[in-house]
Amino acid sequence: MIIGIIGKFERGNKIMEKKLSDFQDYEGIDASLETSLYEYGLIWIKGIKGHEKDYHFIYGVNVSPKTGEFVSFDWGDIPIDCNLKSEYDWVDWNEVLKFTGYEGEEERYFQPDMIPQIISDLISYYGHENIFGSSYYPFEIERE
């Protein structure tokens, strides 16, 4: 798993900023990309340039006390062919399956195309730091 920064940062003397439209090809939990990012704090894309063998996730790290929405983000990659049960061997999968409503349906839950949903579930259950690690360089994504 690789963690890094892609938001507002200095390259030479030019400050680069990210906007929601920069992520238009991403998917999320909700049909609305904006809702997925700012309310649920998670969007992803499969196999983009530079991350061809990964799901590339943008996840929320800080919430505004005024709005209750995510205001800063970080990113992490999970290999498309990742065995999540072995990668996250510390997870109490029986509890997660109960939490998600997949109790007794383990085979259905652990399908390769379920990786984004499982990551979302793990973040909901354990928090982003336990899934992606600490966020040292959070960035903002401007609404348009």
pLDDT in tens, 60-104: 999 999 999 999 999 999 999 999 999 999 999 999 999 999 999
Question: Residues 6 or more apart from 135 whose CB is under 8 A from it?
Answer: 3, 61, 74, 128, 129
Q: Is the confidence at residue 121, as pLDDT, over 70?
A: yes
Helix axes 115-126, 93-100, angle to 10 degrees: 100
Flag whether pLDDT at 1 surpasses 60.
Answer: no
- 135 DSSP assignment: -
pLDDT value at residue 9: 44
Per-residue confidence (pLDDT) for residue 40, from 0 to 100: 97
- What is each CA distance from 102 to 7, 13, 78, 112, in whole angstroms? 35, 50, 22, 15
User: Do residues 51 and 78 touch, judged by C-beta distance below 8 A?
Assistant: no
> What are the domain boundaries of the chain?
3-142
Global confidence as pTM: 0.86
* Other beta carbons within 10 Å of 124: 17
* Burial (CB count <10 Å: 0-12, 13-18, 19+), residue 119: buried
CB distance 81 to 64 below 8 Å? no
